[in-house]
Structure 1
Amino acid sequence: MNKKLYRSTENKAIAGVCGGLAEHLGWDADRLRIGYVILSLLSAAFPGLLVYLVLWFVIPENPTPS
């Protein structure tokens, strides 16, 4: 139950942030991406883009793909 959060190396569109979050939470990655884009657009896109970039640099890439 102590699962670490990593960026996905297999399920990624740009940097693997949404794929890694989806794997960690047990959600569908495509639905998470769509929700993230919609939420970002509703908040004038800039905060969503900034959060994605920060997560890209903060979350380490998965060293051992599953």
Structure 2
Amino acid sequence: MEKKRLTRSNNRMIGGVCAGIADYFEWDITLVRIIYVLATFFTAFSGGLVYLILWLIMPEARRE
């Protein structure tokens, strides 16, 4: 069994964080992005800071 890693995806709009999370959990990318936008809006935009931190600490996926 192959061990999964949480990485930023090559299927990105900005940094690939939401797409990487969707790939890791095998969820729909659009659903993750909508949940992220709603969570950011309802938490007084602190989601932007979380996104930047994840963008910095998540390794980039290997290009194929």
TM normalised by structure 2 equals 0.91
What are the residue-to-residue correspondences of 1:1-66 with 2, within 5 Å?
1-9=2-10, 11-45=11-45, 47-65=46-64
Shift of 1:64: 3.7
Deviations 1:8-52 (A, max 9, x none): 01x21101000000000000011100010001100111x100000
Query: What is the deviation of 1:2?
Result: 1.7
Moved over 3 A (4+): none
Structure 1 residue 58: deviation in Å? 0.2
What are the ranges of 5 or more consecutive residues in structure 1 without an aligned counterpart?
Answer: none
TM-score w.r.t. structure 1 length? 0.89
Alignment length, in residue pairs? 63
Q: Percent sequence identity over matched residues?
A: 43
CA RMSD after TM alignment: 1.1
Could you tell me which amino acid in structure 2 is paired with residue 56 of structure 1?
Answer: W
